[in-house]
Amino acid sequence: MTQTPIGNNKNSSASLWLLLALLVCAAAAFAGWSLFFYHPETVALTGSTADATKTPGATFSPTPTANPTDTPAPTNTPIWRNSAVPTDTSAPTNTPLPQPPTDTPVPTSVSNPNSPTPAPAATNTPKPVGTCSTLTCQLLRRMADLSTLPHPEGTTSKQFASNNHQSPEKFWDYFRSDQFFSQDPRYGYPIGPNSYANYRIVFGPDGTKEYEVLPRTEGPGYIARVWFTHRQHDRPAEGEEPDPEWGFFAEAGNIRFYFDDEPTPRVDMPVTRFFGGEESPFLTPLVRHYRTGNGGNISHVPMPFYHSVRVTLAPNPPYDEGKYVGPRMFQIAVKRFDSDPGPFESFRLPFTQEEARELERVRKVWSHLGDYPYPTGGEVEVRQVLEIEPGGSAQIDLSGPGMITSLRLIIQDGQENDLWMRIFWDGQASPGVEGPLRALFGTAEETRPYRSLPLGIVAIQPPGDEKQHEFYNFFPMPFHSARILFTNSGGGRPHIQATILYRPTNDIAGTRFHALFKEERLQADNPANYRLLDVAGSGRYVGCILTGHDVDRGGQPYYDEGLPDVWRFPYLEGDYDLWVDGQLALPGTGVEDDFDGGYYYIWYDPHDPASSQFPLSGCTWKDKQVRGEVASQYRFYVTDAVDFDQSLGIEVEHGIIGNNLSVTYSSTAFWYQ
């Protein structure tokens, strides 16, 4: 039998064209409804290792409030305290860390290695977020939109603190008398190599005694961070009853900010109002106090100054004779522009309409941690499902130029234990990002769910399925090309559901994102500090995750005596110091202080993440009965990101009197270079 070619049969041809037309119409209708309902975070990721799709990004974050007066009712409770943040109360796994590969392995499971990167799909133009004509407004905008982090702003960072730079005792980083504050040579702020100046006691325009915690600092620049603790968790003297919300901090009186050599302060308010989180613009979650800040009083509200700035504490008179009422422990981070950016108005109250608008936008973004923090529009989405053979690897390749703004990985619980992740930028032979997968997103030793602004781990329990974890990273990562390599050092076959958002852009000159994991056992007879990071060159430091554990409680580390049983986590007394271009720029006063907490994270509750986990800092794990008194914390820098021109060194002490404790530290540092 001979078949008639379809092309020679007019009736068949007409039927075929009719069928094709119907199929095209149906496909168009389906595509329209699919786009109407589509949301990248809810799309089921299925397929084999070779499956890869690219779709336009969608809107993740709420639109900024147009009316700055629509401020939520003030509350002492952080806005996001009641958000559903999954907790992990399972027993510790004590899973050993995966071992790093010795050489770059040849991938055994690669996704479309020969496929060119498709042209970016067009999306809607980003919605305008309004103009920012003041530096205050611009700085607030950076606190919600992280895209400027790869670009050094040309500033020099300096921290003024209650640091004791001479005594071997690590627990004496606080003031106990006027003499300690203003005359003791062991205290003061660095003014040069091995040179310090004492703080001053002055008198305000009303004749009130003032403790100058930030001496006159010339501009232009801005205050990026203010942190205090006081006599809040001290044992009260006879007849004293500390306030449960504040301890004794109210006795510190008013905090005063003097701008541009003006005789009267532009900000003059009780410390309980400044850190209370209820009075605009010092609102939660940018501001927290002792009870809501896990022992610390902290403000991240940026405060620009053009000519100069001073900060004082004015205690409430009358002063009890013989009682010290000045500041106890504090840190104030200041950034000065290396060159004049042009005239701008110093910090002033009340906020302008545009400043109030940006403040509300920051509060919304910081109150929805884990949501995409950037203005949306123009993103390209890459979705990939990877299955990695035992001892094998798999990778995702991206062609630029562009900037990654979101990296999300969903992995079944436990499968992350044996995974190592490395990212190679622009064809480089050495990775810019390297470490155990878990350590690059959170605590290295155990998967501890938490949410911060740039990083987090979220527990997921799909109906009828096994528990999973989503690891997210919102740090902006510019690239010409990117190779994201996953290596499996175990015997299982982990599945990774990866979703990447990036913006095609030519604005990628300058730095690349870096992350480095490190672990070391420090011995009590080793006088050297733990070196969290040592890099040469120029760039920006944007944070770290630090864990201490396996402290040796033997010996006589406390004045030839053993550690009292009630003294747990003693290694937190060690300072976390930042050395910029060879100079001590940000001296610490104790690990938990430097991570925005206080009193060894006194309010930590493993069943209440809101008690200790915040947008830029927090404690994810604290247990005196597990892993030798483990404490894990994170600290990220946005407006207070630290620029360096020649070198950056970060050190952590490991003792209570000198470096006299044996303890293990693990850390992941994040920076641009």
**What's the pLDDT at 461?**
86
Of the pLDDT bands very low, low, confident and very high (cuts 50, 70, 90), residue 51 is: very low
The average pLDDT across 560-570 equals: 93
pLDDT at residue 445 is higher than 70: yes
Is 80 exceeded by the pLDDT of residue 14? no
- Residue 86 and residue 470: Cα distance in Å, rounded? 11
Check pLDDT > 60 for residue 355.
Answer: yes
Least confident of 10-14, 112-116, 391-395, 528-532: 112-116
Per residue in 219-267, pLDDT (tens digit) is 999 999 999 998 766 666 777 777 777 778 888 899 999 999 999 999 9
**175/69 Cα distance (integer angstroms):** 41
Q: Are 510 and 151 in contact (CB under 8 A)?
A: yes
* 637 close to 622: Cβ distance less than 8 angstroms: no
Here the tokens at position 349 are 């109250």
Helix (H, G, I), strand (E, B) or coil at 409: strand
Q: Model confidence at 165, in pLDDT bands (50, 70, 90)?
A: very high
What is the average pLDDT across 187-196?
90
Q: Which of 543, 9, 450, 4 is nearest to 225 (CA)?
A: 543
For residues 229 and 329, the answer to whether their CB atoms sit within 8 Å is: yes
pLDDT given for residue 323 in this prediction: 80
Query: What pLDDT band is residue 20 in, cutting at 50, 70 and 90?
Result: very low
Nearest residue to 371 via CA among 545, 546, 146: 146
**Listed range (54-63, 134-143, 608-617) with the worst mean pLDDT:** 54-63
Domain 41-79+92-125+373-509, architecture per CATH: Sandwich (2.60)
**pLDDT band, residue 589 (cuts 50/70/90):** very high
More confident residue, 523 or 29: 523
79, 284 Cβ separation under 8 angstroms: yes
- Is the pLDDT at 117 greater than 60? The verdict is no
Q: 3-class secondary structure for 163-183?
A: CECCCCECCCCCCCCHHHHHC
For residues 453-469, give the mean pLDDT: 90
d(CA 255, CA 263): 15
CA angle, residues 365, 367, 373, in degrees to nearest 5: 25
pLDDT score for 23: 43
Q: Where are the domains of the chain?
A: 41-79+92-125+373-509, 155-338, 512-673
The residue that leads in pLDDT, 669 or 104, is 669
| Local structure of residue 383 (DSSP, 8 states) | E
> Above 60 in pLDDT, residue 142?
yes
- SS3 for 241? coil
Tokens 């209708």 correspond to 29
Instruction: Write out the DSSP string of 453-516.
Output: SSEEEEEE--TTS--EEEEEE---EEEEEEEEEEEE-SSS--EEEEEEEEEE-S---S--EEEE
Give the pLDDT confidence of 494-523 residue by residue, as tens digits: 999 999 999 999 999 889 999 999 999 999
Checking if the pLDDT of 88 tops 70, the result is no
> Pick the residue with more confidence: 246 or 56?
246
Residue found under tokens 């350590």: 439
Any idea which residue has 């509750």 for tokens?
Answer: 605
Is the pLDDT confidence value at 403 over 50? yes
Q: What is the pLDDT of residues 408-435, one digit of tens each?
A: 999 999 999 999 999 999 999 999 999 9
Q: Is residue 279 predicted with pLDDT exceeding 90?
A: yes
Q: What is the pLDDT of residue 177?
A: 92
572-611 core/surface letters (b: 16 or more CB in 10 A; e: else): bbbbbbbbbeeebbbbbbbbbbbbbbbbbbbbbebeebbb
Q: pLDDT class for 103, splitting at 50, 70, 90?
A: very low
Tokens found for residue 439: 């350590």
High-pLDDT (> 90) share of the chain, %: 71
| Bridge partners, residue 670, by sequence | 515, 543
Count of residues in the chain: 673
Where is average pLDDT lowest: 244-253, 531-540, 598-607? 244-253
| Residues 105-132, mean pLDDT to the nearest whole number | 45
Q: Superfamily assignment of 512-673 in CATH?
A: Protein of unknown function DUF2961 (2.60.120.1390)
Q: What is the mean pLDDT of the chain?
A: 84
Asked whether this chain's domains 41-79+92-125+373-509 and 512-673 adopt the same fold, the reply is: yes
Handedness of CA 367, 370, 372, 374 (dihedral sign): positive
Instruction: Kindly tell me if the per-residue pLDDT of 307 is higher than 70.
Output: yes
Question: Does the pLDDT at position 633 exceed 80?
Answer: yes
pLDDT over threshold 80, residue 655: yes
Say yes or no to pLDDT of 35 above 90. Answer: no
Tens digit of pLDDT for each residue in 478-491?
A: 999 999 999 999 98
For residue 46, report the phi and psi dihedrals to the nearest 5 degrees.
-130, 170
From 55-64, 273-282, 584-593, the region with the lowest mean pLDDT: 55-64
Class level of CATH domain 155-338: mainly beta
Strands (E), 189-266: 189-192, 195-197, 200-203, 209-218, 221-229, 254-259
Q: What is the pTM of this model?
A: 0.82
pLDDT at 99: 57
Quick one: average pLDDT of 629-652? 98
